[in-house]
Amino acid sequence: MASAAFPKLFAPLRIGPVTIKNRIVSPGHDTVMVADGCVTEQLVAYHKARAAGGVGLIVMQAAGVHETGRYTSHVLMAADDSCIAGYRAVKEAVSPYGTRLFGQLFHPGREVMETSDGSAPVALAPSAVPNERFHVMPRAMSKRLITEMVDAYGQAARRLGRAGLDGVEVVASHGYLPSQFLNPKVNRRDDCYGGSFENRLRFLREVLSAIRGQLGDSLAVGLRISADELEEAGLPAEDSLAACVSLDESGLVDYLSVTLGTSAAPAGSDHIVPPMSEAIGYAVPYVALVKEKVSVPVFAAGRINQPQDAERVLAAGQADAVVMNRALICDPLMPQLAEQGRVDEIRACIACNQACIGHFHAGFPISCIQHPETGRELVYGSLAKAAIRRRVMVVGGGPAGLKAAAVAAERGHDVTLYEQAPRLGGQVLLAGALPGREEFGGAAANLEAEAERAGVRIVTRTRIDASAVRSEKPDAVVLATGARPRWPEIEVLGAPVLLDAWQVIEGKDPPKGKVVVSDWRGDWVGAGVAVELAHRGHEVVLCVNGYAAVQGLQQYVRDAHLVALKRSRVELVSLVRLYGADEDAVFFQHVLTKEPVIIEDVASLVLAEGHLSVNDLLDELSAEAPAETQVVGIGDCLSPRSVEEAVLEGLKVGSSL
């Protein structure tokens, strides 16, 4: 029965021979929870958590159908029968919750990121046309290899059918191999697989026919495709739409999962996991164009991360189901909470990309900065109640303190959190105050709500010192006192105007004239402050200690910042370290050549030089607290890092008390 609040979202949907219980889809996405190409217990637990949370359909991550399809060192493979047991384990884990399970069939073509031993493989494509993102020059496939590849798709589908899955999905999106055959700018063949549209569609048509030949109508067969690759050399949107219509009319597909972008170039790849600079549901108009032309169900992707947004898309008839990937990474219980009308309890994704796709690109299992339990279900999937109820004092209401307090209280402890500022959230509030990062502030609201629901007693505008701790006599003290801006030791002549990034974010404006921002860390702080100052009308020079601005951020988020810097006309100077300043110049040293770099006619210098731990209370209590009082520091109090480490350490400490 559909939810009263979300009647469309919780209505069942027929997809070929399969019915899913609601319209929420966890799409195929690489998890880095694979060993030797096979499913692990970690991956089983990951998908089980989302099934338990109420998702209607899980599409497992891309699985290579052929040995040449190993585009990363941790890709899932379906190229031989060794994959069957792992797929079967996932199916058995999700079935008790009524969740349907599909698997993606994949070959990257020329889109190869890495290999297990670091050497460059021989990449394949319809023609020897290189890509712009990974700078891979592929080998043109022979007809014999094309025939072998088509059969490989069919055999991989057979294996997924043997494992008991409910459907398969061919990945033709994001510039991968089937898209490369479709794209006339990549497919330069002069045989029956190139030239005309029908010839370029032939490979994908043969792949789907091979799959149907193995499965018949017993499993659902779908297609993931980019409606527009949003790149000069990408698959033309009209060809993508024509392919959808033709395959629908032929009866080869039971549904279409529609997205945007391509892996082949930097700007196009940003749409694979769009950052918060893209609007909620921004891809839906592209999806709607496909839905108008086909008869099979159509899935919509593109930053649909709340049930009310999903309901609007479905109610408007723009799609039949919604892909809610990061929403489910951030809160696996989202479907269940939405169906029960508990929308305010949903932990909303903020599209920071730090621990999900950011972990994938770094080769680590995916997680979430707000919900570090994701990817760690085997360890933190269920919280055991504390054997003995303890009085816990948490000092600091930033992300580390909030998470520690919430988890400790949920486990049954008596927890009081103290924050000296009027508001909770710490540096998250600063991040959310910068242009283009407004959603980031949602992390503070989500963590605060989590603590309140757990029963944490919250006291603001209160500074805690050692005497206050002694007076309280807690069983455990968690210090999450954070960090403060670092002012490096530099040579200063005269009386130059010096500010730190926090002062600028909090509203202090430098005098008119050129502003130099000195950025040591290469994260959101320096770049964000530079754009903010440009918006205020200043001429800004961003001087970074690294090779490029925002080099410490995940690529798609980094690209969004670089676009903002370019459009704000911020001048960039790289590979410099701050040396000194006087009343009209800032002095740097090139980090490689050691030569001086001088910025002249400067009105002010803004320091984004990292942070220093606020750990005085931690040091004092560690030295003098009675033996029966546990004292522990977490987050920036231990070492200035990011919100991801802060929340993770909060989880770990809250779970251990």
Distance in angstroms between the alpha carbons of the first and the last residue of the chain: 42
> How many C-beta atoms surround the C-beta of residue 196 within 10 A?
10
3-class state of residue 18 by DSSP: strand
Q: Which domains does the chain have, with CATH numbers?
A: 13-378 (3.20.20.70), 389-484+613-656 (3.40.50.720), 488-609 (3.50.50.60)
50/71 Cα distance (integer angstroms): 26
235/231 Cα distance (integer angstroms): 8
> How many C-beta atoms surround the C-beta of residue 396 within 10 A?
31
The DSSP-derived string for 323-386 is E-HHHHHH-TTHHHHHHTT-GGG--------TTTHHHHHHTS----SS-TTTT-HHHHSSPPPP
Strand partners, 220: 167
Residue 255 is predicted with a pLDDT of 98
Residue 290 is predicted with a pLDDT of 98
121/112 Cα distance (integer angstroms): 8
Q: What is the mean pLDDT of each run of 10 residues along the chain (657 residues)?
A: 85 98 98 97 98 98 96 94 98 98 98 87 95 95 98 98 98 98 98 98 98 96 98 96 98 98 96 95 97 98 96 98 98 97 96 96 96 97 94 98 98 98 96 92 95 98 95 96 97 96 97 97 96 97 97 95 97 98 97 98 98 96 88 97 97 97
From the candidates 176, 286, 380, 418, which is the catalytic residue?
176
State whether the Cα torsion 150-155-159-161 is positive or negative: positive
The HSE-up count of residue 141 (CA atoms within 13 Å, CB side) is 26
* H or E stretch covering 226: strand 220-228
C-alpha separations of 8 from 2, 223, 319 in Å: 7, 23, 11
Active site residue 87: no
Residue 2 is predicted with a pLDDT of 65
pTM exceeding the 0.85 threshold for the entire prediction: yes
